[in-house]
Amino acid sequence: MLTRIDHIGIACHDLDATVEFYRATYGFEVFHTEVNEEQGVREAMLRINGTSDGGASYLQLLEPTREDSTVAKWLAKNGQGVHHIAFGTADVDADSEEIRGKGVRVLYDEPRRGSMGSRITFLHPKDCHGVLTELVTSAPVESPEH
């Protein structure tokens, strides 16, 4: 089942300024950046620590690349801040089906590609006490990519 907090997603208007805040304030450095065209975001993963299961914990900073993206709509409604929490799992397929069986809406029929080659799905916030929740099976992490 779920093994760790994989990341906390933070929606922002200006990715570069937000990265600089976390670097200057907390000393967090960018581990990985990418543009996810499907989700309409540019993101930076700031690695916080490693974990015993070979994964890590991150802050994921998300800047929308288009106005019709989910993150852009969320920012327009809520402003900058915590967007979602993601839990790590060794098997996103099995765990999402188990959770679906408990009556929680899983937003994707099949897990999709996420950051750094991971496989992800989301759980409906109305079924998770108002928290958009992501399940993540990380790809093996060998070295930082920018």
Catalytic residue among 7, 39, 63, 83: 7
In the residue annotation, 13 being an active-site residue is answered as no
Catalytic residue among 32, 39, 83, 84: 84
Q: Output the 3-class SS for 3-20.
A: EEEEEEEEECCCHHHHHH
In the residue annotation, 39 being an active-site residue is answered as no
Catalytic residue among 32, 63, 83, 134: 134
Report the distance separating Cα 78 and Cα 31, nearest Å.
Answer: 27
In the residue annotation, 7 being an active-site residue is answered as yes
Catalytic residue among 39, 60, 63, 83: 60
Report the distance separating Cα 41 and Cα 70, nearest Å.
Answer: 9
> What amino acid positions are annotated as catalytic residues?
7, 43, 60, 84, 134
